[in-house]
Each structure stands twice: as C-alpha cells, then as structure tokens.
Amino acid sequence: MNHDIIVIGASAGGLEVLLDITAALPAAFPASLFVVLHTAPGWRSPLPELLAHRSGLPAHHPLHDEKILPGHIYVAPPDNHLLLRQGSMEVVRGPRENGHRPAADALFRSAAAAY
C-alpha cells in the first residue's frame, strides 16, 4: 500500500498558493494530494479543473469510497468533508468544524489516523 500522501488546507485566499504548489509538481508525482479549500456551501468549485490545468496531474472531486491512486489530486467537494481511510476516501456532509464544511481539520485528523 502506498503511504505517500500530502494533505493541504486553505481558505479562499489560498487559491494562488495552491495553484503555485501544484504547478511545481513533476509529471511523475508519486504521491496522492488531498486538498480542502474552505468555500461557501452553494459555490460550484472549479478547483479540480484549475489544479489539473496547472499541474498536468488528474484532479477531481472524489466519490465516497473511491480508491486512492498515486499521482492524483483529490479536492473536497463543496459542503462535504473529505476523509481518508486506508486506501480509500470518504465524502461526507458531517457537522461543520470551526464553521467550515469542508474543513481542513477533518482531513488532517483522518489522514493522521489512517496513515
């Protein structure tokens, strides 16, 4: 099982930094990248498309129980937490944490427990 994961959380003001980070990733990036961007609940997120365009790596909003693949960028869907389990992800509505859903805290906590 691949344990090479990177988790990143940012507020809406962190978009440019996220784009810069992913633009610097090599085409053969061996890890999986998980991103939570704190956004408004009704916002349709173009973030996966922006990150894929900048990085050249596949990026998308994962589905519940989707398997984790190396070299992919997974972005928490609007108004849902992204949680990690051994080899897969959970996408759940869950309660807000520190006023946010998705929340970076939930992603970080689940990543620490799973990996």
Torsion over CA: 1, 32, 4, 115 (sign): negative
Residue 12: the pLDDT is 78
For each successive 10 residues of the chain (115 residues), what is the average pLDDT?
A: 85 91 94 91 86 96 97 96 97 93 96 95
Torsion over CA: 78, 113, 56, 26 (sign): positive
Residue 78: the pLDDT is 92
Residue 41: the pLDDT is 75
Helix/strand/coil for 57: coil
Residue 1: the pLDDT is 53
Alpha carbon distance 87, 70 (integer Å): 10
Alpha carbon distance 97, 58 (integer Å): 28
**Class of the domain covering 5-114:** alpha beta
Question: Where do we find the tokens 């849902």?
Answer: 80
Whole-structure pTM value: 0.94
Residue 45: the pLDDT is 82
Alpha carbon distance 54, 15 (integer Å): 12
**Which residue type sits at 101?**
R
Residue 111: the pLDDT is 97
